[in-house]
Structure 1
Amino acid sequence: MSSKPTREARAEHEANGEPLLSLENLRVSFGDTVAVSDVTFAIARGERVALVGESGSGKTVTALAILRLLRDAEVSGAIRFAGEDLMMKSEREMRGLRGADIAMIFQEPMTALNPLYTIGEQIAETIVAHDGVSADEARRRAIALIARTGIGEPEKRVTSYPHQLSGGQRQRAMIAMALACRPRLLLADEPTTALDVTIRAQIVDLLLELQIHEAERRGMAVLLITHDLNLVRRFAQRVAVMEKGVLVESGPVERIFAEPQHPYTRRLIESRPQRAVHPVLPIAPTVLDARDVSVTFRTRATGIAGWFRAGRFTAVSNASLAVRQGETLGIVGESGSGKSTLAMALLGLQRASQGAIEFQGRALASYRGRERTLLRSNMQVVFQDPFSSLSPRHTVERIVGEGLELHRPELGRAARREKVIAMLREVGIDRTALARYPHEFSGGQRQRIAIARALVLEPRLLILDEPTSALDVSIQQQVLALLTALQHKYNLGFIFISHDLAVIGAMAHRVVVMQNGAIVETGDVEKIFSTPEHSYTQRLLAASMGTGQA
């Protein structure tokens, strides 16, 4: 059967004022676990609706249920798209709808895109499958879509593979693929979560521009799935709030933000990072002092003729900074600016680095043998993703106590265990967690375990590399409050790396701004955030304000 009569019927249905999409008493369960319970809401033609809530609230499960992509779940209730009951459609009929009438932008494009095919091939495949045009016509349309989503040099990028694109470019490619067949409904699942603040603002603006354009032409609606309420405020017209699989509140964005009725909605809105730093004592000694630190890598030249000629890439250029006891130094900048590379150099873990680095008044390079081992116990790091930095084969007791076994060999097993239990208690984890494994904990709990692992050695300096970027807003607030309390209690020096300026504004005393490997501006947080001097800092803050983050 041709899709044309079906689309005409849908258009007639919408002309009668019926919603484009409606869910009635949607229930999704996986065995005995109920993921979504009695969810009911509707989306009108040309409308932008946000579905918000924390991880595990059922947002993504709801979107996948709409597309009938939940293979091992029991789904009940009604899902109607332009008057047609999707629950009654065959898999073949659903394949005709997916991509053509209902498209989805997934959260992580690197895993959603096929690494074996070029971007152009993946966009063209959708066009050929649903529109039946020739390969040449599909390629031409793919190039036009790539250009429309703001990717430079579209004729060149059409032949690029996903790994050859930046994070922002991959997300734009996903948007181009989703728009390939001019869908009536676009499901956008956390489309900006892993992006820098400036790229995030660009993607939000792009989605808004494309939706307004397509709404005028074809009435395209968007269901935005996110836990970022600032993004909701900027993008959506209506918002539906989910908690533990239940829709607890919905309404116009302005009303929900001004007068939230449900306690969970109020808690989400109030979860913005709050500044609560303790002042640094005037006599506080310097923990770390770095001067003119550079990191240069040897690279292989491109092209056959230059295959054996090595080039050089400078990741960090002449960076100087200092951290005192009890002080938090924030390092901000976009991906590729050199933040994490600088952190590894400061830890003495970057062999390609040059410059002078002193820890507690002594040159880092002078530590040898046993002293070098002791140095490691005094300089600890907490990484962005605790799930990948915690060994899945070790228990919590082994993970937190491993450093003690190496650096404090004089402690017996019972003494080590007591220190582990005490440290876990400090970060809000009960002793019953000792025999459990990382996969048994939530993201926020895993980050607390990672913090306990670092602090159990009683370090003087803690480097935090994007420690809250993967956390929900309320969990993020809890972790930030915990770090502030621990810093004050143990008089720790923090280097806090982030591209989230709201987090830096809440945590840091001073801030360093990096661009292309160089420090372009540094100073007190309040001064830098209120009166930035460098154009790049001004651009970062403008983008942050544009998405409501700072």
Structure 2
Amino acid sequence: MSDAMQSQAADRTQHGPLLEVERLRVSFGETVAVNDISFSIARGERVALVGESGSGKSVTALSILRLLHDAQTSGAIRFDGVDLLTKSERAMRGLRGSDVAMIFQEPMTALNPLYTIGEQIAETIVLHDGVSAADARKRAVELLGHTGIAEPGKRVNSYPHQLSGGQRQRAMIAMALACRPRLLLADEPTTALDVTIRAQIVELLLQLQRDEAQKRGMAILLITHDLNLVRRFAQRVAVMEKGVLVESGPVEQLFEAPQHPYTQRLLQSRPERTVVPVLPIAPVLLDARDVSVDFKTKLPGVAGWFRSGRFRAVDAATVSVRQGETLGIVGESGSGKSTLAMALLGLQRATQGAIEFQGRALASYRGREQTTLRSNLQVVFQDPFSSLSPRYTIERLVGEGLALHRPQLDPAARREKVVAVLREVGIDRTALYRYPHEFSGGQRQRIAIARALILEPRILILDEPTSALDVSIQQQVLKLLAGLQRKYNLGFIFISHDLAVIGAMAHRVAVMKNGSIVESGDVEKIFASPVHPYTRKLLAAASGGENSLL
């Protein structure tokens, strides 16, 4: 190659796009997930990829890292001028984590359950930076602190199952940022985070990008359904629908004057308050008084030994839910929301206090009565992938409760009920014979909701049920839940970090901080005039400059 040609190649590498995707097509057998899309990302640029669940956003990101081993991929993915589709697997292993890193959507499936969080972050640093184990551990503690995890020196020794969903998400972010990548693929990086930590993570990413601007020019591809986040964070946005890129452009231009009908529909979707007042004579379904939950833990002692201690996750919480009422529970990750929910379900052994369902203590239910109790108290867990067995088809997963609690139904009748409830949450009957891994994160969340709803429970506990859903599907699911509540007089306990969702769904709200309920009452009154400083802080972080969340 002549000197002139080498100079031209170097100039393209230095000044051309950092990432260039050209006519990318990804298919799984006869199913086309991504169809002929093209876009580019400049050095130091922040680009958002938005669209409904199943639109191909995550498939696009995974294709960049060549992590779709069962897919047929064509087109070109050029990183720094080199087509990644032509690189060897060994070369890709050297690229992943160091030059291109990814924050995965579901941290529980991405983190190794056999190693501590600190070991997993440090491993990345040692492999790519070649530093000592001690230095890598020190860096891991710093990263955990930067992402907002309290007591990072202690949490660095925790295993994934010992952290809340939001804490696991932050650990994933710390791992992705460990080697200061040139391109960060962030697949729903703030999905499980409360509003205050979400703002911290956004500022952290921006600060890291500013710090690296003169060195490597880190670019970020943000995959999200959070349009408020897109508007605050991204410079350009690309909209995908059913595997096709339908519209792209500068953020302000696209938000102010969207051209495609699908983009217009996305921007118009937001939670609408459809709450029906609870009847004054409505009975109390669930009543919990002075509920506390303690966990055994290890505390540092003398001479490097540990002594036994106790950690209070929930401290003297008192809540109640009436027929047809929705109680919202809000608070930061690790505040005790999910632990309180497990205690109310009778699934938390280390529980103190009184919990009654329809005037009867949970502990008094035995034998067949306990089976009936379980059908009346249902839950939708925060992480749908870990709560859905990978070995069962969707028909078996959703219909499992019917087989146990409605044995009088024959297989044909059970199937029709499964099809009906799947249709209500936006899943086609073709899903019956498929498995959880064949669906996107948002689709799995809807399947989990269908599984809980099929038994028509009296109380439904929803632990972040819309966290993985895009705005349009979120609106559909919220309307579905509201309709079911009116039809069957269901009581809901709605746990969420999305205060706009709580404002749309809840009659009353309880605000939790460090295991305690610091404020509770009518949601409209508290959102309009919060008393506790912590509540005011949450509302300020969530409003984003709007006058009201209701």
Compute the TM-score of the two structures, normalised by the length of structure 1.
Answer: 0.82
Mapping of residues 228-243 of structure 1, within 5 Å: 228-243=226-241
Q: Give the stretch that moved more between structures: 418-427 or 104-113.
A: 418-427
Distance 2:185 2:475 in 1: 28
Distance 1:447 1:64 in 2: 20
Distance 1:227 1:33 in 2: 23
Q: How much has 1:365 moved relative to structure 2?
A: 4.2
Q: How much has 1:249 moved relative to structure 2?
A: 0.5
Distance 1:379 1:505 in 2: 23
Distance 1:206 1:7 in 2: 38
Using a 3 Å threshold, how does the CA distance of structure 1 residues 25 and 395 change in structure 2: closer, same or farther?
A: closer
Partner of 2:47: 49
Mapping of residues 253-402 of structure 1, within 5 Å: 253-299=251-297, 302=300, 310-391=308-389
Using a 3 Å threshold, how does the CA distance of structure 1 residues 150 and 471 change in structure 2: closer, same or farther?
A: closer
Task: Select the structure of larger CA radius of gyration.
Answer: 1
Distance 2:35 2:379 in 1: 41
1:347-381 superposed Cα distances (whole Å, 9 cap, x missing partner): 33333222233333344444455544443333333
Partner of 2:487: 489
What root-mean-square deviation, in Å, do the aligned CA atoms of Structure 1 and Structure 2 show? 4.1
Q: How much has 1:331 moved relative to structure 2?
A: 0.9
Using a 3 Å threshold, how does the CA distance of structure 1 residues 30 and 231 change in structure 2: closer, same or farther?
A: same
Contact 1:48-1:235 within 8 A present in 2 as well? yes
Mapping of residues 159-238 of structure 1, within 5 Å: 160=157, 163=160, 166-167=167-168, 169-179=170-180, 183-238=181-236
Contact 1:521-1:537 within 8 A present in 2 as well? yes
Using a 3 Å threshold, how does the CA distance of structure 1 residues 215 and 443 change in structure 2: closer, same or farther?
A: closer
Contact 1:201-1:544 within 8 A present in 2 as well? no
Partner of 1:3: none
Any idea what SS the aligned residue of 2:177 has?
helix
Partner of 2:424: 427
Partner of 1:13: 12
1:127 aligns with 2:129: yes
Q: How much has 1:441 moved relative to structure 2?
A: 6.4
Contact 2:124-2:175 within 8 A present in 1 as well? no
The counterpart of 2:536, out of the listed 529, 533, 538, is 538
Distance 2:538 2:21 in 1: 39
In structure 2, give the amino acid aligned to 1:344: M
In structure 2, give the amino acid aligned to 1:424: V
Unaligned runs of 5+ in 2: none
Contact 2:423-2:429 within 8 A present in 1 as well? no
Using a 3 Å threshold, how does the CA distance of structure 1 residues 86 and 145 change in structure 2: closer, same or farther?
A: farther
1:194-221 superposed Cα distances (whole Å, 9 cap, x missing partner): 3333222211110011112322454332
Paired residues, number: 535
Using a 3 Å threshold, how does the CA distance of structure 1 residues 254 and 308 change in structure 2: closer, same or farther?
A: closer
Using a 3 Å threshold, how does the CA distance of structure 1 residues 523 and 24 change in structure 2: closer, same or farther?
A: same
In structure 1, give the amino acid aligned to 2:11: E
Contact 2:388-2:397 within 8 A present in 1 as well? yes
Identity of aligned residues (%): 68
Q: How much has 1:68 moved relative to structure 2?
A: 4.3
In structure 1, give the amino acid aligned to 2:195: V
Distance 2:517 2:497 in 1: 15
In structure 1, give the amino acid aligned to 2:464: E
Distance 2:247 2:46 in 1: 17
Distance 2:99 2:395 in 1: 51
In structure 2, give the amino acid aligned to 1:334: E
Contact 2:519-2:532 within 8 A present in 1 as well? yes
Q: How much has 1:289 moved relative to structure 2?
A: 2.2
Q: How much has 1:526 moved relative to structure 2?
A: 1.8
In structure 1, give the amino acid aligned to 2:518: V
Mapping of residues 443-482 of structure 1, within 5 Å: 447=445, 450-482=448-480
Any idea what SS the aligned residue of 2:178 has?
helix
Q: Give the stretch that moved more between structures: 149-158 or 290-299.
A: 149-158
1:243-271 superposed Cα distances (whole Å, 9 cap, x missing partner): 22211100010111111111222222223
Distance 2:419 2:186 in 1: 43
Unaligned runs of 5+ in 1: 1-5, 129-133
Contact 1:104-1:188 within 8 A present in 2 as well? yes
Q: How much has 1:11 moved relative to structure 2?
A: 6.3
Contact 2:464-2:494 within 8 A present in 1 as well? yes
Contact 1:119-1:162 within 8 A present in 2 as well? no
Q: How much has 1:327 moved relative to structure 2?
A: 0.9
Contact 1:344-1:350 within 8 A present in 2 as well? yes
Any idea what SS the aligned residue of 1:483 has?
helix
Distance 2:422 2:128 in 1: 52
Contact 2:41-2:47 within 8 A present in 1 as well? yes
1:249 aligns with 2:247: yes
Distance 1:7 1:303 in 2: 63
Q: Give the stretch that moved more between structures: 301-310 or 330-339.
A: 301-310
Q: Give the stretch that moved more between structures: 431-440 or 200-209.
A: 431-440
Distance 2:150 2:445 in 1: 40
Distance 2:362 2:353 in 1: 10
Q: Give the stretch that moved more between structures: 276-285 or 27-36.
A: 27-36
Distance 1:79 1:441 in 2: 24
Q: How much has 1:415 moved relative to structure 2?
A: 10
Any idea what SS the aligned residue of 1:281 has?
coil
Contact 1:120-1:159 within 8 A present in 2 as well? no
In structure 2, give the amino acid aligned to 1:514: M
Q: Give the stretch that moved more between structures: 305-314 or 349-358.
A: 305-314
1:504-526 superposed Cα distances (whole Å, 9 cap, x missing partner): 11111110011111111101112
Contact 1:119-1:161 within 8 A present in 2 as well? no
